[in-house]
Chain A
Amino acid sequence: MNSFDILKIVLVLIGAPILGCLIAGIDRKLTARLQGRVGPPLLQPYYDVVKLFKKDNMIVHPAQNFYVVIYVVFVILSLLMLVFGMDMLMIIFVYTISSVALIVGGMSTGSPYARVGSSREIMAILSYEPILILYALAIYLLTGTFKLSALSTLSSPLLAYIPLIFISMLFVMNIKFKKSPFDYSTSHHAHQELVKGMLTEYSGPGLGGIEIGHFYEYVFLLGLMFMFWSSNIIIGLLLAVIAFLFVIIMDNITARVYWQWMLKVSWSILLIISIANILIVYYFYFKPA
């Protein structure tokens, strides 16, 4: 590990939450405008986190904040692994640790609202995880390795080979950003639910930690979209912006549906188009070693 790598790590550790915070701020601002409101200042998510850390540490279960630490640490690790172009399949597994930590953290409180939210989030895993791994599989079939760093050897950007997986990934973004219509586990909108699902019993520093984790997670998720055109930074960023705008617009034009509907959509339409895309890649581009 040379000094350049260390610089990169520091940059990610400091830069990602700032970027994530801005993303969250833009989200709130845009959503407010779409709803005909002025909206909070751009830095409102930052003010929220600062305030949360000044609040009392109210808990219902002694270990509940331990899961928050696991969540944040492993989100950061998956982001770092993405930045360093490591094994995509491994990144997905590491990212699963963080998702599981948040679910178990919600359930550990024992609150019925939190348990309902967590059960729904488990169903969300069932909906999006196969698509994420199919994305990794596509990278292997195209480059002969699961390492993201090998994407630079491709002659065309990833999007040209796997457009259908890109479409599925847009919906995965929607699920993972926990935005309407897929915000059953915990919602950002007060009008969607009275009680904050999976995160019901989190408040003060615990909730602040989760918010920081979300900032990193936003950057990580949009980073996955960036990878579709990683050879050109501008177009890559544009894809990330498109994905982000898609999520916000979907959030504002749809209402929450049943979680069963999410499962049906993902296991029928999204999974089938992704598998079709994999088969196309397999027959036209895959060269067995």
Chain B
Amino acid sequence: MWDPIWITVKLAFVTTVILLALGTPVGWWLARSKAWWKEAIAAIVALPIVLPPTVMGFYLLIALGPDSPIGQISTEIFGRALPFTFAGLVVGSVIYSMPFVIQPIRNAFEAIGDRPLEVAATLRASRLDSFFSVALPMARPGLLTGAVLGFAHTVGEFGVILMIGGNIPGETRVLSVAIYDHVEALEWGQAHILSAGLLVFSFVVILSMMMLEKKLGRRLR
């Protein structure tokens, strides 16, 4: 029973870290750029919200499979294609949870506006300096929201995982898939424990996020 939980937490954690590292510059660019095509990028980032997970999983399976260019590269490096590996789950989750991390970060950067950065510039802070000393700390509530949403959303991932990860116990079998298996096998007791656990987890996550946001938001206003 503990294997799926551990894999799920590991997957959500790695995914969140990657998304924060990736989402901060992308969110910054989406908030600040004046390029006319930036909304097209924003739409691509938001696509996983509306795309059925099976569709995404299907394309990922093809894109990462051993016959694809990416698959060939990963075979060169890791000795195998990404589907049915933990690394493959990470790639899928990063794409699947991307909008839930980038959107709050973008909103937080947009909410800062030009003024604090102009003030920083008049106080001798270079652009990079003001990003780290003004923009990032001021966007902290948004970064936190993004991290929590990304983590929680990855924990609840099912369709994409089933499509690309399969169901290898101890390697790619995550919580949601484990619950599905228990139900299929009519092991209601196990399904109950895991489901109730996820329910409580989700509630606690949402509640603490709302409270934190309120607290941080008040501090920054």
A, B in one complex? no
* Chain A residues within 8 Å of B, Cβ to Cβ: none
